[in-house]
Amino acid sequence: MIRNKSKWLDDEPEKNHDADNSGANSTYFGYQLVSQQHKARRVLKHFNKVAKQYDFMNSLLSFGIHHMWKRTAVRMLALKEGYRILDVCAGTGDLAILAGRRVGVSGLTVLYDFNRDMMEAGRAKVTGSDCSGALVYTQGDAAMVGFGIRNLTRMRIGFEEMHRVLKPGGKMMCLEFSKPMAPLFRWLYDFYSFHIMPFLGELITGSRTAYTHLPESIRTFPLPDALSLMLSEIGFSAVTYRRLTNGIAVIHLAEKEKRTTTE
């Protein structure tokens, strides 16, 4: 049963799960091939349903490890005071708060998310922290996305836009789930993902579907080498990644090349 459900992207290389290069009005929502509009509606409905319990469920399902992943990811960006940061798919604002503390009062942290319920769920946490920001149009010193890029209907275009709004020399960080390295650990992770997580999701949030889609979307996300290649093709340089917790999560770092001057 687990073997049939758990199909990682490298198990089915003939499928183009991102579909960004196809030109067709289709994309993947978990294992389902759907229209872009259908995915956008499903993602919005999914996060509307879980927004109020989102932070609690993250801590419960990850045993609190997600806080360590996020602190590590932001630390690897090497932010400095005065930097301007864009947090894409910001959700309830965990990464933005961590970044805001590093850039200080002279910096700027901008949260962006297309789901208002998620932003509202994290508003008290953000306003009660020691970081604040305003929504502005600006080139940024860094852009980051944590556990959200999977939900875009056109992931490649999302990364291209992050590249566009960065200033030359700016850094991009993507923290995302991935495939565990050790076979036994991966088997346990699959069992947990497809049996325990949906059960807890239904019990606490009332939505089994939301926490069935989550492990499916993780398994249709590009693996580290493939995502690194995509970022390089987009125009990022110095593309690297670091696996966390046996590969359950991966931090990708990249830079927008600095302009060269000619004499």
Distance of alpha carbon 48 from its chain centroid, rounded? Answer: 17
Is the per-residue pLDDT at 22 higher than 50? no
What average pLDDT does the segment 34-58 reach?
91
| % residues pLDDT > 70 (the chain) | 87
Highest mean pLDDT among 119-133, 138-152, 193-207: 193-207
> Could you give all domains of the chain from N- to C-terminal order, each with its CATH number?
50-256 (3.40.50.150)
pTM equals 0.84
Q: Residue 19: which pLDDT band, with cuts at 50, 70 and 90?
A: very low
The amino acid at residue 16 is N
Which DSSP string corresponds to 189-225?
HHHIIIIIHHHHHHHHHS-TTHHHHHHHHHHTSPPHH
For residue 27, which of 17, 15, 13 has the smallest C-alpha distance? Answer: 17
Which parts of 90-198 are beta strand (E)? 108-112, 140-146, 166-177
What confidence score (pLDDT) does residue 28 get?
84
Give tens-digit pLDDT for 214-262.
999 999 999 999 999 999 999 999 999 999 999 999 999 999 998 765 5
Query: pLDDT at residue 129 above 80?
Result: no
DSSP code for 257: P
pLDDT for 137 equals 37
Model pLDDT, residue 23: 52
| pLDDT bucket at 143, cuts 50 / 70 / 90 | very high
Residue range 205-216: average pLDDT?
Answer: 91
Residues in the chain: 263
Q: What's the pLDDT score for residue 13? A: 56
Edge-to-edge, what's the strand order for the sheet holding 166-177?
Answer: 108-112, 84-88, 140-146, 166-177, 249-256, 236-244
Give the per-residue pLDDT at 114: 84
As a whole number of angstroms, the longest Cα–Cα distance in the chain is 66
Rounded-to-integer distance, Cα 30 and Cα 150, Å: 9
Nearest-angstrom CA–CA distance, 123 and 140: 23
Q: What is the pLDDT of residue 76?
A: 97
Per-residue pLDDT, averaged over 50-69, amounts to 95
- The model's pLDDT over 65-111, given as tens digits with 9 standing for 90+, comes to 999 999 999 999 999 999 999 999 988 989 999 998 899 888 888 88
Give the pLDDT of residue 7. 73
| Backbone region of residue 55 per phi and psi (left: phi > 0; alpha: psi in -120 to 50; beta: other values) | alpha
Q: To the nearest whole number, what is the mean pLDDT of the chain?
A: 87
Q: Distance (Å, rounded) from C-alpha 132 to C-alpha 100?
A: 7
Write b or e for each residue in 139-158: b if 16 or more Cβ atoms lie within 10 A of its Cβ, otherwise e.
Answer: ebbbbbbbbbbbbbbebbeb
